[in-house]
Structure 1
Amino acid sequence: MNFTPFSALTVLPEGLRGDVVGSFNEVVRNYREHRWEPAELNGGKLCEAIYTVILGYMDGRYAERSSKPNNILDACRALEHRSNFPRAIKIQIPRMLIALYEIRNNRGVGHAGGDVDPSRMDATAVLYMSKWLMAELVRFLHDLTTDQASSVVESLIEREVPLIWTEGNKRRVLKVGLSWKKKMLLLLLPENGAVGEAELLEWIEHPNPGRFRRDVLRPAHKQKLIEFNEGDLSVRLLPPGIAEAESLVNSL
């Protein structure tokens, strides 16, 4: 299958796709910034967007934009009675939507006087439920494996790095005094795919390709921060590298 992350969810109308991807990225962004309550509120928006997708899939026609059902609990339960659809679509995804929406409504989020204060624990549950839902959505819409779908979902996450200046294909780290390794992590963080070694060297303005490969790329590859493919000379961040890069952004 010739599938790339950039073609994910393009089977949906542009407005509906924007609602799904946009609300998902708000959850991720707010979690990253430790804004627990907004992260949970946008989990509710994601529920409504994904419900709209599932309903459109079953009806054979997608709405242009997401909408909120009068009672999402009853609406999700009603999907279980639709015949001739995979269990993931009519039962597993709707039940996860109910669980996610329950946190949004009844864990002190979005309502004054809730019995539980918004917390990192709740927001973490929202984050990983949201990732699971997105992976399932991508998987059944594009007939991918679970691993492929999870990889695509990670590629949909928007990572904004204010320390990076961008113009066309040019990138520059604006913070002076950083090590080559830190500059590399910052430059790779917003990129959804692999970056060629030559392009990365141009961005980072390192004077010696051989030394950069020896002192930065290979050690970072050994530490599992990056995947450095010496066959095609490409570089991409691995999850530990993403975590270290995001921590670096938050500390500067």
Structure 2
Amino acid sequence: MTLDATTALAHLPPGLRSELVEEFRKITRNYRERRWEATELDGGRFSEVAYTILHGYLNGGNYAQVASKPAKFDQACRQLESASGAQYPKSARVSIPRVLVALYDIRNNRGVSHVGAEVSANHMDSEYVLHASQWVMAEFVRIFHGTDLQTATSVVDALVERTVPLIWEVGDVKRVLDPAMKLADATLLLLHSSTSPLTDTTLAKYLEQDRLPNYKRVLRRLHVDRLVDYNETAGIVTLSPLGTKGVEERILPRQVL
């Protein structure tokens, strides 16, 4: 049987295991779509779930059923170091908690959750969130499944569908990095990667559609299917909840770069 994350983390309560895997997938998905702020916010939530798991593990396996946030996250993580050293690996007591504090600090202090923070959400911080969470996941697999680091890393690599962004920003344009993607799907993907609606002319520019009247036919079809709202008079295209679901469940999972 091929080892996967669910099997490797089978000793954890199902609720915590599901939360951990889901938050990790959200980090990789948002990174892939260049959604830096969302990536960093998910890093904070991932830290809370990981802390809850460590707290239960270092207290004799007395796990909470769902994750919760301690009142003072950094202090709570430092308290984990006081767990009996002979019984638990140093990684669980010291290394992982310290990484979680750094992940949580990005969420709190780098322009993500508060106005006026020191640094705006950015690619560099998101790179750290991505790779730090990958490392934590690999350590969890190694600890809870009792496997070696190479195997644990392979399990995590299999969990990451893809971390190469599908959207590439070049100057003032965005490019979809799959030239075979259908025009309608590429339109939905571009809208999904944006924090606000886009104009039909902007989308046409991104997708190199020189004949706007022809491209508008694609937008009208998407509008009829309720995947977007296309206000043709104003030229504004807004992704619908149904369109969002289509991107996340149909388009993204099948893309391999």
TM-score by length of 2: 0.60
Matched to 1:127, the amino acid is L
Whether 1:106 aligns to 2:109 is yes
Residue matched to 1:71 = 72
**Secondary structure of 1:80's partner?**
helix
Residue matched to 1:142 = 145
Q: How far did residue 8 of structure 1 move?
A: 2.2
Provide the C-alpha distance between the structure 2 equivalents of 1:175 and 1:149, rounded to a whole number of angstroms.
33
**Structure 1 segment 152-163 matched on structure 2, within 5 A:** 152-158=155-161
Provide the C-alpha distance between the structure 1 equivalents of 2:52 and 2:103, rounded to a whole number of angstroms.
15
Match of 1:91 among 91, 94, 100: 94
CA deviations over 1:153-172 (Å, ceiling 9, x no partner): 1222356xxxxxxxxxxxxx
**Secondary structure of 2:82's partner?**
coil
Structure 2 runs not aligned, ≥5 long:
163-179, 183-254
Q: How far did residue 109 of structure 1 move?
A: 1.1
CA deviations over 1:96-154 (Å, ceiling 9, x no partner): 11111111111111111112111000000100000001100111111111110011112
Matched to 2:141, the amino acid is V
CA deviations over 1:179-227 (Å, ceiling 9, x no partner): xxxxxxxxxxxxxxxxxxxxxxxxxxxxxxxxxxxxxxxxxxxxxxxxx
Percent of aligned positions that are identical: 46
Structure 1 runs not aligned, ≥5 long:
160-173, 177-244, 248-252
Q: How far did residue 7 of structure 1 move?
A: 0.8
Aligned residue pairs: how many?
165
Q: Looking at both structures, which has the greater relative contact order when contacts are Cα pairs under 8 Å and sequence separation is at least 6?
A: 2
Matched to 2:8, the amino acid is A
Matched to 2:50, the amino acid is I
CA deviations over 1:48-69 (Å, ceiling 9, x no partner): 0111111111112221111111
Residue matched to 1:196 = none
Change (3 A) 1:3 1:79: farther
Provide the C-alpha distance between the structure 2 equivalents of 1:143 and 1:31, rounded to a whole number of angstroms.
29
Whether 1:23 aligns to 2:1 is no
Matched to 2:105, the amino acid is E
Residue matched to 1:120 = 123
Provide the C-alpha distance between the structure 2 equivalents of 1:57 and 1:119, rounded to a whole number of angstroms.
33
Provide the C-alpha distance between the structure 1 equivalents of 2:146 and 2:78, rounded to a whole number of angstroms.
25
